[in-house]
Structure 1
Amino acid sequence: MTTIPHDTIAHAADLIAPYIRVTPMLEVPGADLGLPGAVHFKLEHTQVTGSFKVRGAFYNMLTRDVPKVGIVAASGGNHGAAVAYAATTLNHKSRIYVPRVIAKEEKLRRMRGFGGDVVLTDGSVAECMVEYAAYAEETGALSVHPYDTVPTLTGQGTVAREIEATIGRLDTILVSTGGGGLIGGVAAWFQDRVKVVSVETENTNTLERSLREGPDIDVQASGIAAGSLGGPRLGEVSYKVIKDYVDQAILVPDDAVFDAAKTLWGATRLVGEPGSAVALAALTSGAYTPAKGERVCVLLCGGNAEPDWFMAPNT
Structure 2
Amino acid sequence: MHQLTYGDVKAAADRVAGRVRPVTLAPADAGEVRVGRRDALDDRPDEPGTVWLALEFMQHTGSFKARGAQNFIQAHREAKTLPGAGVTIASGGNAGLACAWAAQQQGVTATVFLPTTAPAVKVARLRGFGADVRLVGAEYADALAACEDFAATTGALASHAYDHPLIAAGAGTLLEEIVQQVPDLDTVVVAVGGGGLFAGVATAAQHHGVRVVAVEPENCRALNAAIGAGRPVDVTVDSVAADALGARRASRMALHAAQRADVHSVLVPDDEIVRARQALWDQRRVAVEHAAATALAALTAPQPHGYRPGAGEKVAVVLCGANTDPGDLARPVDQG
Aligned twin of 1:115:
130
> How many equivalent pairs are there?
310
Aligned twin of 2:84:
68
- Summarize the Cα distance change of 1:124–1:235 in structure 2 as closer, same or farther, 3 Å threshold: farther
Q: Secondary structure at the match of 2:223?
A: helix
Deviation at 1:232?
2.0
TM-score, normalising length: structure 1: 0.89
Alignment-mate amino acid for residue 204 of structure 2: W
- Please say which of residues 178-187 and 21-30 is displaced more in the overlay: 21-30
Distance 2:312 2:119 in 1: 39
Aligned twin of 1:232:
248
Distance 1:19 1:130 in 2: 31
Alpha-carbon contact 2:223-2:254 (below 8 Å) kept: no
Deviations 1:197-217 (A, max 9, x none): 111112221111111234443
Matched, 1:170 2:185: yes
Distance 2:153 2:255 in 1: 28
Aligned twin of 1:294:
313
Q: Alignment partner for residue 142 of structure 1, among 149, 157, 160? A: 157
- Please say which of residues 78-87 and 207-216 is displaced more in the overlay: 207-216
- Summarize the Cα distance change of 1:32–1:196 in structure 2 as closer, same or farther, 3 Å threshold: closer
Aligned twin of 1:87:
103
Deviation at 1:3?
5.2
* Structure 2 runs not aligned, ≥5 long: 37-48, 332-336
- Summarize the Cα distance change of 1:124–1:184 in structure 2 as closer, same or farther, 3 Å threshold: farther
Alignment-mate amino acid for residue 202 of structure 1: E
Distance 1:54 1:85 in 2: 8
Alpha-carbon contact 2:194-2:247 (below 8 Å) kept: yes
Aligned twin of 1:154:
169
* Structure 1 runs not aligned, ≥5 long: none
Alpha-carbon contact 2:222-2:232 (below 8 Å) kept: no
Alignment-mate amino acid for residue 237 of structure 1: M
Alignment-mate amino acid for residue 191 of structure 1: Q
Distance 1:214 1:129 in 2: 28
Distance 2:183 2:27 in 1: 13
Q: Alignment partner for residue 288 of structure 2, among 272, 281, 302? A: 272
Aligned twin of 2:15:
15
Aligned twin of 1:206:
222
Distance 2:119 2:30 in 1: 33
Deviation at 1:112?
2.9
Alpha-carbon contact 2:35-2:311 (below 8 Å) kept: no
Alignment RMSD, CA only? 2.5
Distance 1:216 1:263 in 2: 34
Deviation at 1:76?
4.7
Deviations 1:152-198 (A, max 9, x none): 11111110100000111111111111110001000110116111111
Aligned twin of 1:26:
26
Aligned twin of 1:40:
52
Distance 1:99 1:248 in 2: 36
Aligned twin of 2:71:
59
Alpha-carbon contact 1:76-1:228 (below 8 Å) kept: no
Alpha-carbon contact 1:198-1:246 (below 8 Å) kept: no
Alpha-carbon contact 1:147-1:238 (below 8 Å) kept: no
Distance 2:114 2:215 in 1: 24
Alpha-carbon contact 2:277-2:287 (below 8 Å) kept: yes
Alignment-mate amino acid for residue 242 of structure 2: A
- Summarize the Cα distance change of 1:28–1:143 in structure 2 as closer, same or farther, 3 Å threshold: same
Alpha-carbon contact 1:72-1:136 (below 8 Å) kept: yes
- Please say which of residues 81-90 and 217-226 is displaced more in the overlay: 217-226
- Summarize the Cα distance change of 1:232–1:79 in structure 2 as closer, same or farther, 3 Å threshold: same
Distance 1:159 1:133 in 2: 30
Aligned twin of 2:46:
none
- Summarize the Cα distance change of 1:105–1:25 in structure 2 as closer, same or farther, 3 Å threshold: farther
Distance 2:94 2:52 in 1: 23
- Summarize the Cα distance change of 1:288–1:310 in structure 2 as closer, same or farther, 3 Å threshold: farther
Distance 1:20 1:277 in 2: 22
- Summarize the Cα distance change of 1:41–1:59 in structure 2 as closer, same or farther, 3 Å threshold: same
Deviations 1:50-69 (A, max 9, x none): 11111111111111122122
- Summarize the Cα distance change of 1:104–1:189 in structure 2 as closer, same or farther, 3 Å threshold: farther
Distance 1:200 1:251 in 2: 5
Q: Secondary structure at the match of 1:112?
A: helix
Deviation at 1:5?
3.7
Aligned twin of 2:334:
none
Distance 1:246 1:255 in 2: 28
TM-score, normalising length: structure 2: 0.84
Identity of aligned residues (%): 36
Q: Secondary structure at the match of 2:17?
A: helix
